[in-house]
A and B are shown apart, each in its own frame.
Chain A
């Protein structure tokens, strides 16, 4: 069992100033997930009549991309290739002080405490992160189109992005290039995606820029912190796609 000091960002609403608050946690099991530890903290806060800490979560098995904490200076905490919900308390030691902050970016405004508005990602997706299909009943089965295994694997790797925003949170420039490049790549590599490739990359990058994300400077931090291991290769592919689309007009 561990005794911990938690320093957590508390902010009543989007317009409130917000500040770090310190809480003591006793008898924390190393087998707990990080979010279970937060649940216990909230139970204790409720018992004391204090507003519980708001934080995003949903599936709690690393596939929905909802959990979004910045723990001890890293997106999703000190572990690699996991989301916050997959992080366990055994990664910490008795007596540790854990700093918990929301993902920070101009394009991810804080809603309350540790919850942030990531609808900028939704708007980027809506700008081109899809394939238009004929739904009249004559749609060709996607599996009937032969795709080279290498391309299928790369597309699948890109499609593994869960849109959690850790890439933005961890990038010193708050750039969304890894997320957008994964969404562009998953279609760019497949024949179904090539039809709308030009408009897709131009519109998605344009929307990304409008949302106020920073510029990519190739530090590679996004790739390291991504819970799904999305590769920088996708950013290079998007750069190529964008250059080609711009020249094509």
Chain B
């Protein structure tokens, strides 16, 4: 209890939930990229993920809790941080000693959270409607078409692209920072930073590529 109630404990939970979401993001990307190469494979994996009881009733609730926890704790910490300096400086050169991304995690986080709302509206709500409201028959081949259909709208592709820029910024600081928070700052830190840079560039660009690919090949 002492651990969770303390500033270090809260920081630790933010780091662990962030690392968990990075793992989720990686598997999400690995599945989505198959849509570029094979419609059949994408449909097979999506059907498995959408109907496997372990995924649906164990992993999915854990994921939802992880997301809810990460952004709720993010807002709680930000509020506490605002209160810790009641009188602001007249002149404050934040950029002189810390990168913009590290000082604006709340901003990139809010953009990602907003995007998440749109993303759930696009994919999760129709899926819930299909399975539990309208209770339509199982169709293992519908996923690819649904994906392509979502990326027909150029405005939506634009919003997704912008959101992934902010995701890249969030990851750029958050990934390596998580290791510092759990107490790892040693000879491997440089390697972790390199992996962070690569991950924060490759994965968001990969997601943008998937959206653009389906947008351009849909016609």
Q: Which positions in A face B, CB cutoff 8 Å? A: 7, 9, 20, 70, 72-74, 78, 99, 101, 104-107, 110, 170, 172-175, 177, 202, 205-206, 208-209, 212-221, 224-225, 232-233, 235-240, 242-243, 246-247
Contacts and interface: CB of A to CB of B under 8 A. Distances in A.
Nearest to B88: A104
A78 B105 CA distance: 25
A24 B47 CA distance: 74
Given A172-B98, A235-B180, A106 B11 contact: no
A209 B8 CA distance: 9
Nearest to A233: B185
A172 B89 contact: no
Nearest to B174: A218
Contacts of A242: 3, 6, 8-9
Given A72-B93, A74-B97, A106-B85, A215 B7 contact: yes
Contacts of A215: 7, 10-11, 77, 80-81
A107 B80 CA distance: 13
Interface string B173-217: 100010011111110000000000000000000000000000000
Contacts of B96: 73-74, 78, 224
Contact of B177 (A99, A177, A206, A218): A218
A213 B9 CA distance: 15
B102 interface: yes
Interface of B: 2-3, 6-12, 77, 80-81, 83-94, 96-99, 102-103, 105, 173, 177, 180-186
Most A Cβ at <10 Å: residue of B86, B90, B182: B90
A224 B98 contact: yes
Contacts of A170: 97
Contacts of A101: 89-91
B1 to A, nearest CB: 9
A78 B93 CA distance: 10
B91 A73 contact: yes
A175 B84 contact: yes
A107 B97 contact: no
Given A220-B97, A236-B180, A206 B6 contact: yes
Contacts of A173: 81, 84-85
Contacts of A247: 3
Contact of A208 (B7, B91, B184): B7
Contacts of A72: 91, 93
Contact of B11 (A216, A224, A233): A216
Given A202-B2, A242-B8, A246-B2, 11 more contacts: A74-B96, A104-B87, A106-B85, A172-B98, A174-B81, A177-B7, A214-B83, A219-B103, A224-B96, A243-B8, A243-B12
A197 to B, nearest CB: 14
A99 B92 CA distance: 10
A209 B84 CA distance: 11
Contacts of B6: 205-206, 209, 242, 246
A235 B93 CA distance: 23
A106 B85 CA distance: 5
Contacts of A219: 97-99, 102-103
A220 B102 contact: yes
A237 B8 CA distance: 12
B98 to A, nearest CB: 4
Contacts of B84: 105-107, 173-175, 212-214
